[in-house]
Amino acid sequence: MKAVALTIAGSDSGGGAGIQADLKTFAAHGVYGTSALTVVTAQNTRGIRMAVALDPALVLAQIEAVLDDFPVAAVKTGALSNTGVIEVVARALEGRNLPLIVDPVMFAKSGDALLDEDALESMKALLFPLATLVTPNLPEAERLLDLHAGHLSAPEAIQALVRSLSPFPMLLKGGHGTEEQLHDHLLLPDLTQEFTSVRQFTRHTHGTGCTLSAAITANLALGLALPLAVERARDYVQAAIYVAPGLGSGAGPLEHFPFRAGSMG
């Protein structure tokens, strides 16, 4: 039977992030993608022009419709917008024992806010206990861990965090730095693992976080163990950046079918 994954996230009219990136990533991995839309945005590579959150009842109905009929093997969340949506997502997933990747989307690549200020604590309280993995970038991790802005820009601060016991299973993404090497840290209760790759200096990085979390989800749906799922997902994103189509005048999208497009591998 074909593996099935569910993404619960927002729509990006430019196709580079959100539901669109997730479904393309699922397809690139041979996984059947299902979706529940949380917020509709009017955006392109330069930013978000408008965003409208959907009624939580509609979000819940979408999730339940999918889970009642499809053999979903893994789930991911992206932009959830507000506390009401977070509450129904948690209600729908609680007790189902499905692998859950939480991408704590707070801001778009352009800097536009995608999560209400008061919704962060709800996410931590309701979704993180259900999560197989949370995938924050450095600024998001600082918010989630109640650290001051810029705290994790110091390598010694990251190493201190790695040595401590993370309050939730986390892939700490280092992509917001400027050094030539990218360092991501997988922090689990029984495992700490560092992943390193060469940074690609390019403006075509719109949707990298969505794409990475979707690739991890797809790999979990295919039955891979979490550390290997993360490793394969990172390789996929690197390839997707390498052959990015060069679209838009801002932060351009990735090529979500990189191997078909003739990249490495």
Question: Average pLDDT in the 156-178 region?
Answer: 84
Residue 14 lies in a domain: yes
In a domain, 105, yes or no: yes
Q: For residue 81, is it within any domain?
A: yes
Q: Is residue 260 part of a domain?
A: no
Is 262 domain-assigned? no
| Set 10, 16, 174, 207: catalytic member | 207
Which amino acid is present at 21? A
* Distance from C-alpha of 160 to C-alpha of 138, rounded to nearest angstrom: 14
Instruction: Please pick, among 7, 173, 217, 252, the residue that the annotation labels catalytic.
Output: 173
Look up 208 and say whether it is catalytic.
yes
User: Per the structure block, which two tokens stand in for 261?
Assistant: 């497009």
- Residue 177 falls inside a structural domain: no
Which among 38, 208, 211, 217 is annotated as catalytic? Answer: 208
Beta carbons within 8 Å of 141's beta carbon, 6+ residues apart: 147, 152, 161, 170, 172
Q: Known catalytic residue: 173?
A: yes
Banded model confidence at residue 176, pLDDT cuts 50, 70, 90? low
Residue 258: how many CB atoms within 10 A of its CB?
Answer: 22
Mean pLDDT of 4-21: 97
Cα 244-245-246 angle, rounded to 5 deg: 95
- The whole-number average pLDDT for the span 69-74 is 98
Whether 207 is a known active-site residue: answer yes
**Span of 28-42, 67-81, 146-160 with lowest mean pLDDT:** 146-160
| Segment holding 43, helix H or strand E | strand 32-44
Cβ-contact 258, 52 below 8 angstroms: no
174: annotated active-site residue: no
Q: Which one of the listed residues 209, 211, 217, 252 is annotated catalytic? A: 209
Looking up residue 105, the CATH number of its domain turns out to be: 3.40.1190.20
Single out the residue of 76, 58, 73 nearest to residue 22, CA to CA. Answer: 76
Number of domains in the chain: 1
- Is residue 10 domain-resident? yes
Residue 265: predicted pLDDT: 42
- The least confident of 141-145, 164-168, 259-263 is 259-263
* Rounded Cα–Cα distance for residues 101 and 135 (Å): 7
Q: 């590579």: which residue's tokens?
A: 45
pTM, to two decimals: 0.94
Mean pLDDT of all residues in the chain?
93
Candidates 264, 238, 166; CA nearest to 152 is 166
Report the Cα 119 to chain-centroid distance in Å: 17
Full domain range(s) for residue 52: 4-135+203-242
